[in-house]
Amino acid sequence: MDPTLTAIIILAILAGVALVVNVALPALRRKGVDVDGIVAQAKQTLQTANNALETLRPFIADKPGVDVFDTIYTAANIGVGNAEQLAHLGKLAPEERKEAAKQYVLDAIKLMGIEKTPDIDRLIDGAIEAGVLELGHEPK
């Protein structure tokens, strides 16, 4: 399977988990369901997925697209953290965080000479969602 497609699938799954954590779990909590166990299980699943990716990395490191994926994933995590910090400092409105994180990634890939394509854009969006999930915020 093409490494870029694999990366897109993994990020889509992580984005789906982020959607569940940010939308479905808060709705369940409002209905009185104790979701703490569900959140703990989701965190454990994400850690397991991350461990699996790290285990596979040596076998796919020389495949085309892996460097692009690593660049986007790293830049997304930094961009998400940067946007979150700016929002905490009051220098960025909370609703502007995702766009600020995305712009950070776009600037990074431009510096690296990576062309923005629809596939790259999906990778960026998925990586940002995964980065937000990795911040460890509990659903309200």
Domain residue spans of the chain = 3-134
Position 64 scores a pLDDT of 55
Where does the pLDDT of residue 114 fall: very low under 50, low under 70, confident under 90, or very high at 90 and above? Answer: confident
Q: Dihedral of CA 113/62/132/19: which sign? A: positive
- Determine the pLDDT at residue 35: 67
Quote the pTM value.
Answer: 0.56
What are the helix (H) ranges across 31-117?
Answer: 36-60, 66-88, 97-111
Q: What tokens appear for 36 in the block?
A: 């703490």
Evaluate whether 8 touches 126 at the Cβ level (below 8 Å).
Answer: yes
Measured torsion, CA atoms of residues 75, 26, 43, 78, in degrees rounded to the nearest 10: 10
